[in-house]
């Protein structure tokens, strides 16, 4: 195919800011003709599966039928995976230590590099303009400190959920609303996933509706682009995060954060970065602990920003080094 076109296959075009951010990150790292899709496009010269938590049969089986050079980049690798299907990739770049351990079982050539989204930095100036517009639209008061809240709709109960899980999420919503009511800051609720049934806007609305002092908060209901989310997070004073990429965006932009950790992705990221001190386990999260952590972030904002800047710069340097060793034939 003319121009040695490379097809990047992943969880694309699903209205998810985290996954869509790879459309910004890959071109920043690879100066090559790239086309993104959620299924392989016929007759491309090379294929990349990435990024994200997508090492699964639905993707591996499709690529296994393609006779072209294939690469695996910026992914998590689960412990239980068909090792034979991993062997189809000439390049294997994973994004955390646990994934590297899992990948090396079948692929001795596997290496670890930071999630490609660490290559991205937002514009705090543009983010502040967007924040002002959001609060103005909702006729809400914007305090000096503005805290972002990103709630993963996957935490919401389903038909299969037991009563205890449903009750815990309800309690979690009230705990967060108490944090919002009792913190001297405005809150902006930011959706990353924007497609049913896992639409973060539904989870955000549940929390916002429980606040007594709702006039100092704002919810984003528009179809937020990945670059918009990046800019807004860059402009915030603190982030309460339940999604992997909202935490990555916070670190990349030196924005203090509290990670409400409920899945392996965030857990493995923070462990790899040796920054687990920012984590609160979802099942142990209380309104008092979250509020205290948020207040610590605001109080020590400048110190934390410097700390996160060093981490972010190290991640970007590691990414550049890893890309230098990538040989797309």
DSSP for 177-203, written as a single string: HHHHHTSSSEEEE--SBEETTEEHHHH
β-bridge mates for residue 72, sequence order: 49, 92
The reply to whether 6-112 and 119-314 are identical in fold is yes
Residues whose CB falls within 8 Å of the CB of residue 22, separated by 6 or more in sequence, listed in order: 8, 10, 12, 36, 50, 51, 52, 74, 116, 117
Is the pLDDT reported for residue 295 higher than 90? yes
> In the prediction, which pLDDT does 6 show?
97
- Is residue 329 predicted with pLDDT exceeding 70? no
Mean pLDDT taken over the chain: 96
Q: Which helix (H) or strand (E) covers residue 147, if one does? A: strand 146-150
Does residue 1 have a pLDDT over 60?
no
Question: In terms of Cα–Cα distance, which of 320, 322, 265 is closest to 75?
Answer: 265
Q: Is the separation of the CB atoms in 18 and 227 below 8 Å?
A: no
Which tokens hold the place of 44? 């491309």
Q: Peptide bond before 88: cis, by omega within 30 degrees of 0?
A: no
Average pLDDT over residues 220-230: 96
Q: Kindly state the average pLDDT of the residues 290-316.
A: 98
Is the pLDDT score of 263 beyond 70? yes
pLDDT tens string 109-147: 999 999 999 999 999 999 999 999 999 999 999 999 999
| Superfamily name and number for 119-314 | Glycogen Phosphorylase B; (3.40.50.2000)
**Alpha carbons 176 and 211: distance in angstroms, whole number:** 9
- At the top level of CATH, the class of 6-112 is alpha beta
Q: What is the pLDDT of residues 236-252, one digit of tens each?
A: 999 999 999 999 999 99
**How do the domains of the chain map onto residue ranges?**
6-112, 119-314
């Amino acid at each position: 195919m003319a121009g040695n076109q490379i097809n990047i296959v992943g969880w694309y075009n699903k209205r998810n800011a985290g996954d869509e951010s790879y459309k910004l990150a890959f071109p920043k790292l690879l100066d090559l003709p790239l086309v993104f899709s959620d299924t392989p496009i016929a007759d491309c010269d090379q294929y990349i599966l990435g990024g994200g938590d997508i090492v699964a049969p639905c993707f591996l089986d499709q690529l296994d039928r393609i006779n072209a050079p294939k690469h695996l980049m910026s992914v998590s690798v689960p412990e239980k995976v068909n090792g034979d299907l991993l062997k189809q990739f000439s390049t294997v770049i994973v994004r955390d230590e646990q994934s590297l351990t899992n990948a090396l079982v079948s692929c001795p050539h596997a290496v670890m590099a930071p999630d490609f989204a660490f290559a991205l930095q937002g514009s705090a100036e543009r983010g502040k303009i967007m924040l002002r517009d959001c609060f103005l639209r909702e006729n809400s008061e914007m305090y000096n400190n503005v805290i972002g809240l990103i709630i993963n709709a996957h935490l919401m109960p389903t038909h299969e959920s037991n009563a205890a899980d449903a009750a815990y999420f309800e309690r979690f919503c009230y705990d967060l609303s108490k944090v919002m009511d009792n913190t001297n800051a405005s809150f902006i609720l930011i959706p990353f996933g924007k497609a049913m049934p896992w639409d973060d806007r539904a989870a955000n609305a549940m929390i916002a509706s429980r606040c007594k002092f709702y006039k100092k908060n704002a919810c984003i209901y528009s179809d937020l682009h990945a670059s918009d989310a990046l800019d807004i997070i860059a402009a915030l004073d603190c982030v309460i995060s339940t999604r992997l990429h909202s935490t990555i965006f916070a670190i990349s932009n030196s924005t203090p954060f509290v990670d409400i950790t409920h899945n392996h992705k965030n857990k493995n990221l923070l462990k790899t970065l040796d920054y687990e001190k920012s984590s609160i386990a979802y099942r142990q999260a209380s309104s008092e602990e979250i509020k205290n952590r948020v207040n610590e972030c605001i109080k020590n904002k400048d110190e934390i920003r410097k700390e996160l800047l060093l981490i972010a710069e190290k991640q970007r340097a590691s990414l550049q080094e890893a890309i230098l060793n990538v040989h797309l034939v």
